[in-house]
Amino acid sequence: MQSSAGGSSLQVHAVRFGPGQELLACLQAFVEQRRLRAPFIITCVGSVTRATVRLANATATNTNEVLHLSGRFEIVSLVGTLNPEAHLHICLSDAAGRTVGGHVLGDLDLFTTAEVVLGEASDLRFTREMDPQTGFPELVVQPRSQAE
């Protein structure tokens, strides 16, 4: 299934979160407060002390492929969409520069900071619907109605 609603103008939002905050919850609260309907991550830098990610081998029936990280990690990449059921992927590096990444499940407890630039496709709305082919809720892109 492919979902596309054409082009859109872009709004840009920048925010910084601080030590001890949980990044996913902060991002979701920011999106809700600003009433963003088609938000996505443009860039993010920061560091975390914990993270829970689902690894690439997971399927809809085998969701046990989860990694619980604890320690100090740099966020070297964070990408994805932030509709109510956020779909984010993260890449983290440890003190030796080794990287690990996967689908964000939560527990992104900030160590020092997270500087995040978000984009919003102003003319679109992102939702998620269960895709029987993948077994996961997948992105649906629709034109934003005039009432929104």
pLDDT in tens, 72-115: 999 999 999 998 789 999 999 999 999 999 999 999 999 999 99
Q: Which CATH number fits the domain that encloses residue 50?
A: 3.30.1330.80
Write phi, then psi, for 105 (nearest 5 degrees). -105, -20
What is the tally of structural domains in the chain?
1
For the chain, the residue count is 148
Residue 1 lies in a domain: no
AA letter at 135: G
Range of the domain at 74: 12-143
pLDDT tens-digit map of 19-31: 999 999 999 999 9
User: pTM of this prediction?
Assistant: 0.86
